[in-house]
Amino acid sequence: MSRRQFKPPPRAGNESPDDTGCTVLHVDMDAFFASASLLARPDLKGTPVIIGGQTRGVVLSATYEARAFGVTSAMPIARARRLCPQATILRPDHELYSRMSDAVMETFAAITPIVEPLSLDEAFLDISGAVRRLGSPATIAQLIRDTVHDEQGVTCSVGVAPTKFVAKLASGLCKPDGLLVVPVAEVVGFVQQLPVGALWGVGEKTEEALGRLGLVTVADIAHTPLATLKRALGDAGGQHLHELSWGRDPRHVQPVHREKSIGSDETFPVDVDDPAYIHRELLRLSAKTASRMRAAGLVGRTVSIKVRFADFTTITRAKTLRDPTDVTQEIYATAKSLYDALGLQRARLRLVGVRMEGLVRGANAPVQPTLAEPEFGWRDADRAVDRASARFGSGSVGPASLLRRD
C-alpha cells in the first residue's frame, strides 16, 4: 500500500485532528532489525543496508534506502544483491533485537497494562485508562515515540484510532517515523479512499476477484450490495469485507505474555539430509503444535522453526502472520517456506522444531477467514481430526503423507 495513495483531510491552520475516543494505538518500529544493527555502525546510516546472511538465506530486514530498490523482508539474499548491489549486508544480532524489544515493551507497559505484542517490533495498546493520567491519545503516542527514540536510539511510527484495524492502517501509512491520528468522524472516509488490497484478508487472488467485479477501492466494496459480495467471496468473506469497508472492527486489545509459546521438536535417531523427509517432519510437528493450541483454546501469529545441524550448530527463523491461526496447514506452509528459504539442500540435520508464539485466546482473537477458501476448509478438517482423535485415540487420523514417515 503506497503512502502516495493516502490524502489526509485538509485542516485550517495548525488545527490538530480530534483524537477523542481514539484509544487504540498501533506502534510499529521502523525497519527495527536494520535500525538496531546500525547503532553499532553509524557510518552506514542513510545508506542501503540489508540484514541477513552474506551469500545464502533470506533478508531479515532492510533500511528504507535499500527498500527503495525493491528489497523486502523474506526475499532471497541473492535476489536482494541483484536489486541493490551497492547495499552493505550485515549479519543479524538476535540477542540485541530481543534485548531492545524487551525494553520497548517495558516502555509500553509503563503507559498501559493492556498491551498486545504482535512480534518483536510491533504492538497494539489500549490507552483508555491512561488518558486521564497522561493526556490525550496523540500526546501519549508522541510520548511513546520520544521515549523509544531517547532510550533506544531508534524510531517508531504510531497509528491512533478508535479500532485496531484502523490504527494498524494508520501506522503503516505514516512510516517511517510518523504519527497519524484518524478521528472517529473520519474513519469511513479514511478507509474508503484506500485500495482494496489494504483490507485484512485481501490477498492477490481475492484482489483479482474483486477487480473482475470492478472493485478497485474500499469505497467500491462499501457501496456494493452485500449479497453480491457474498456470492463472489462466500458468506464469511463477503461479510468480513463489508464490515471492514465501513471501518468496523469489534476486536479489543488483548494483553499477551510474549514469552508464551507452544511447540514441538524432533531429534532424529540418525542425521537426516533428505528434504522430503524434513518436510514430512515439519508437517507432523505442525499438526502436533496446532492440536495442542486448539486443545488450549489458543491461536498464534508467529511461526518459528528450529534447525540443528550435525555439528550441533542451531539456527532459528520466524515469520509473523497477518492473522492468528491454529490451522495445521497454515502453520505447516509457513514452516516449510522458512525451511526452504534456508537453501540447505542436502545439509545433514539432527533436529527440527516448529513453534507458535504470540498466543492469544481464540475467543478473544477472531481468526479472519481466507477469502479464497471454500465454505468448509482446513479449519473444519482440523476440528474433525480432533473429534476423531478424542474418540479413537491420538494419531488415529492425520495427513496421508505421514503414513510414509519411514
Question: What does the DSSP 8-state code read for residue 362?
Answer: G
Task: Extract the annotated binding site for Mg(2+).
Answer: 28, 121
The pLDDT score that the predictor gives to residue 44 is: 95
Question: Choosing from 65, 116, 122, 330, which is the catalytic residue?
Answer: 122
How far is it, in rounded angstroms, from Cα 125 to Cα 283?
34
How far is it, in rounded angstroms, from Cα 348 to Cα 274?
8
Q: Give mean pLDDT, residues 335-342.
A: 94
**Residue 318: pLDDT band with limits 50, 70, 90:** very high
Of the options 1.10.10.10, 3.30.1490.100, 3.40.50.1100, 3.50.50.60, the CATH number for the domain spanning 261-358+376-404: 3.30.1490.100
How far is it, in rounded angstroms, from Cα 35 to Cα 139?
25
Q: Give mean pLDDT, residues 79-100.
A: 91
**Residue 48: pLDDT band with limits 50, 70, 90:** very high
pLDDT in tens, 164-217: 999 999 999 999 999 999 999 999 999 999 999 888 878 888 888 898 899 999
How many residues does this entry show for the chain?
Answer: 406
Delimit the domains of the chain by residue range: 19-29+102-188, 32-94, 195-245, 261-358+376-404
Q: Looking at the predicted structure, is the pLDDT value of residue 379 above 50?
A: yes
Check residues 211 and 394 and name the one with the higher pLDDT. Answer: 211
The pLDDT score that the predictor gives to residue 355 is: 93
Three-state DSSP at 105 gives helix
- What CATH number belongs to 195-245? 1.10.150.20
Q: Looking at the predicted structure, is the pLDDT value of residue 396 above 80?
A: no
What is the rounded average pLDDT for all residues in the chain?
85
The pLDDT score that the predictor gives to residue 406 is: 42
Report the topology of domain 19-29+102-188.
Answer: Alpha-Beta Plaits (3.30.70)
For strands 59-62 and 115-119, give the pairing: unpaired
Q: Which of 328, 319, 259 is nearest to 299 (CA)?
A: 328
Cβ atoms within 10 Å of 16's Cβ, excluding its own: 10
Grid cell digits, residue 242: 463489508
Q: Looking at the predicted structure, is the pLDDT value of residue 9 above 50?
A: yes
Report the topology of domain 32-94.
Answer: MutS, DNA mismatch repair protein, domain I (3.40.1170)
How far is it, in rounded angstroms, from Cα 278 to Cα 308?
12
**Residue 364: pLDDT band with limits 50, 70, 90:** very low
pTM: 0.63
Q: Looking at the predicted structure, is the pLDDT value of residue 258 above 60?
A: no
How far is it, in rounded angstroms, from Cα 178 to Cα 331?
33
Query: Residue 58: CB partners within 8 Å, gap ≥ 6?
Result: 52, 73, 74, 75, 76, 77, 341
Three-state DSSP at 207 gives helix
CB crowding 247-262: b at 16 or more within 10 Å, else e: bebeeebbebebeebb
Q: Give mean pLDDT, residues 258-263.
A: 70
The pLDDT score that the predictor gives to residue 402 is: 61
- In the chain, % of residues over pLDDT 90: 56
**Residue 232: pLDDT band with limits 50, 70, 90:** confident
Amino acid residing at 63: T
357 tagged catalytic: no
Cis bond before residue 176 (omega within 30° of 0) = yes
